[in-house]
Amino acid sequence: MRQYLKKRNFDVGMIGCMLFTIAATMGCLVFFRYQVGKIPYLKAEEREFENHYAFITMDNQNQFFRTVYEAAKAEGEKRNDYVELMGDGLAVDYSRDELMRIAIHAKVDGIILEADENERTMELINQAGEASIPVITVGSDCTGSTRQGFVGISNYSLGQEYGRQMLASADEEVQRVLVLMNMNTADSSQNIIYSGLCEMIENSDKKDKFVIGTIAIDDSSPFGAEESVRNIFMREDKLPDIMICLNELNTNCAYQAVVDYNKVGETKIFGYYENDSIKDAISKQIMTCTVSIDTEQMGEYCIQALDEYKETGYVNEFMQTDIVLITEQNVGEFLKNEKKDMGE
């Protein structure tokens, strides 16, 4: 009798779990439908737009992708396209995958996506393709998907540029080089940068002057990245001579740590991307160099690619944007141009 009751209780529990799962799934679908209904489609400024494009990133607060979005939005307005930064200003903090589902369900005319090589990302891009929604990946790619094209830099060339800067800083002593890699292993771009860097050094006559290593940085949040970078500086016996950062967040954390731990001049910081703080750090010789990516060009290319595909059914698979290395020698020009833009 006890066994019968146990079995019956187990069956009831299983049925309860199944009912809860079904209810939760239905609830999510209803919630997504509700949120889609809140999307401000093409009613902005009472103007009718030709296309409604969704711009989706992993983090809407990332300054790099905010500037890419602003450029895409400006180019869209010229072409009568409405470009929406998905998830911006909503009370609920959606993940990138959830925003992709909402955009697909909303039947937008195209998607601009900060992608990666994750299998789930690939599936969502392919779902968009099945719904006849073209996808342009930006910044980082998803090569195995059915996306129409990729807008970004040549990561291999960027790695080679980092390598050239390392060779320029070589001296008599062997230098320890530490490359800060993201924990997100689905991001293949950092591996390509690293390969380009290593090949540049390996093919030079100064390859014995460097010991190159990597470390995984917790890029899940600004606090996680800051803590990971500070942990490096707390181990003074293993402090690198050169630290190479592969994104804006790690760059900001690295140069701040150099200042806080009084290591300016002891560890050279090679950065990624530019902002006011980074350019100021280079001008004060706190950092050695950083890479300036033409975010305006990147945003414009995204809209041009979607429009071209909508009109012709074809688009270039790779649209390469320009990069410039900012060093102590040319940072003055960048600061001067910045003042001109501000009208000073």
Tell me: the pLDDT tens digits for 238-286?
799 999 999 888 999 999 999 999 999 999 999 998 888 899 999 999 9
Buried b (16+ CB within 10 A) or exposed e, 86-113: bbeeeeeebebebbbbbbbebebbbbbb
CATH architecture of 39-153+296-321: 3-Layer(aba) Sandwich (3.40)
Identical fold between 39-153+296-321 and 155-293+326-341:
yes
- Model-level pTM? 0.79
All structural domains of the chain with their residue ranges: 39-153+296-321, 155-293+326-341
Q: Are 306 and 51 within 8 A, CB to CB?
A: yes
Q: What is the pLDDT of residues 187-237, one digit of tens each?
A: 678 889 999 999 999 999 999 999 999 999 987 788 899 999 999 999 877
Q: How many CB atoms lie within 10 A of CB 132?
A: 8
Cα 220 to Cα 183: distance, rounded to the nearest angstrom: 8
Q: Are strands 268-270 and 242-245 parallel, antiparallel or unpaired?
A: parallel
CATH architecture designation of domain 155-293+326-341: 3-Layer(aba) Sandwich (3.40)
Q: For residue 316, what are its two tokens?
A: 């270039």
Picking from 185, 193, 231, the residue whose alpha carbon sits closest to that of residue 212 is: 193
> What is the phi-psi region of residue 47: left when phi exceeds 0, alpha when psi lies from -120 to 50, beta otherwise?
beta
Assigned token pair, 101: 């589902």
